[in-house]
Amino acid sequence: MDRRQFILGSTSALTGGVLLPGIVGRAAAQDLPAGAVASGILDALPGKRPLIKRSFRPPNYETPVGYFREAFTPNDAFYVRWHTGVPDIALAEWRLRISGPGVKSEREFTHDALRRKFKTAEVAAVNQCSGNRRGLFGPHVAGVQWGLGAMGNAVWSGVRLKDVLEDAGIAASALEVIGNGADAPTLTGPDFVKSLPMWKALDPDTLIAFEMNGEPLPTWNGAPARLVAPGWTATYWIKALSELTVTDKPFDGFWMKTAYRVPKGMFGASGFESQDTEQNSPITAIKVNSLVVDPAPGVVLERGKRVEVLGIAWDGGSGIRNVEVSLDGGKTWRDAKLQRDLGRYSWRQWRYAIKPDQAGAMTLMARAHARDGSTQTDTLVHNPAGYHHNVVQKVDYHVA
């Protein structure tokens, strides 16, 4: 059975716009706003498998959790998130310009010139939308009402941002690197532009990527090139990248200064001091999290039969130390078996065998601990924009 058949097979009917409780997961579907459940149909963008449509335009499409059975998320099942229209730029026409007061000389590269001049680098990393799980917030907050699938794991390949910036020469005054893509607002709204602090821009794992999972980036995921800022939420991973500006003062565009903010101190230090204010900080590193992938919530398990639970766990780059599972509402916890380490920015698959011996309702909880000592929260840390939902998941099954 191929992947598509599996996904299709797991819902009762899939012609046209149907609801997706079986795919989204019972708990998630219950927690999303009713209007998001009703409008969250399965729909296939050209070149993509059917994904959960959150909005047609700009295209915001979520990956059904079943695809997370695989260590790396297939490109054609990878979630899609745009603020504006999607640029379609031929690789031969594409140019990357580097300028600003923070570089010693300006540069302009074609794709060929970049690949010829700089060494290829790759990194396995989770790409997670800042608003992943926003739809599960209680009380709800406005925005794209994402469930569990505004994320994916991939091997990203391209050139190091560091190498390109150093080729232009970094001035002592350099403070932030601003990335701009070829997308543009429809009316007079602010262009989607984001900046990185120098330390993150110069991290050898921060890339200008042309490929994901060994194939050219799909247009939906940022072709011809996108920034890859491993460990940081996807808002910094500028798609259809066309311009880099190295500045000597904090960039004050709307999407940095006003949007993508968390209350100061609520989630620890941002690591982006030049963008901190007295009230708030930019969202930056992904918080430690985990997800039960299989069996899906609500599945009926056979009494006395051994079942292997499959899940994933990830964080902002310290790596996963351990994942614990509880079957008694959190009173006792036992370690799950971590699978192969694919790199500290990748998610880590885990397995845990259960053999339910009592008929009736059963709840499984999973909790990941990162190597930096952080762990998931027991209750939601509510914040206005709906970020960093990493509450310990409770998955209900029925044993019969």
d(CA 173, CA 400): 67
What is the nearest approach in angstroms of other proteins to the Cβ of residue 253? 12
Report the candidate in 326, 347, 344 with the shortest Cα–Cα distance to residue 335. 326
- Cβ neighbors of 202 (< 8 A, separation 6 or more) are 161, 162, 165, 170
Select 86 or 208, whichever has its Cβ closest to other proteins. 86
What is the nearest approach in angstroms of other proteins to the Cβ of residue 179? 15
Select 107 or 348, whichever has its Cβ closest to other proteins. 107
What is the nearest approach in angstroms of other proteins to the Cβ of residue 236? 21
What is the nearest approach in angstroms of other proteins to the Cβ of residue 34? 6
What is the nearest approach in angstroms of other proteins to the Cβ of residue 95? 9
Select 91 or 142, whichever has its Cβ closest to other proteins. 142
Strand partners, 123: 156
Tell me 211's DSSP state: E
What is the nearest approach in angstroms of other proteins to the Cβ of residue 89? 7
What is the nearest approach in angstroms of other proteins to the Cβ of residue 145? 5
d(CA 50, CA 92): 30
Peptide linkage before 58 cis (omega within 30 of 0) = yes
Vertex 110 angle, CA 106 and 114, to 5°: 80
27, HSE (Cβ side, Cα atoms, 13 Å): 22
Strand partners, 159: 120, 208
Residues that bind other proteins (CB under 8 A): 16-17, 33-36, 38-40, 43, 46, 53-58, 84-89, 139-140, 142-145, 182-190, 242, 254, 258
Strand partners, 366: 325, 393
Q: Which two tokens stand for residue 283?
A: 């969202």
Select 9 or 35, whichever has its Cβ closest to other proteins. 35
Select 185 or 265, whichever has its Cβ closest to other proteins. 185
Select 47 or 268, whichever has its Cβ closest to other proteins. 47
What is the nearest approach in angstroms of other proteins to the Cβ of residue 283? 18
Q: Which two tokens stand for residue 275?
A: 């963008």
- Cβ neighbors of 232 (< 8 A, separation 6 or more) are 200, 284, 285, 286, 316
Contact criterion met (CB below 8 Å) for 67 and 50: no
What is the nearest approach in angstroms of other proteins to the Cβ of residue 47? 12
Select 1 or 90, whichever has its Cβ closest to other proteins. 90
Select 80 or 286, whichever has its Cβ closest to other proteins. 80
What is the nearest approach in angstroms of other proteins to the Cβ of residue 84? 8
160, HSE (Cβ side, Cα atoms, 13 Å): 14
Select 53 or 162, whichever has its Cβ closest to other proteins. 53
Residues, the chain, total? 400
Peptide linkage before 197 cis (omega within 30 of 0) = no
Tell me 229's DSSP state: -
Tell me 274's DSSP state: G
Name the 3-class secondary structure at 52.
strand
Select 85 or 250, whichever has its Cβ closest to other proteins. 85
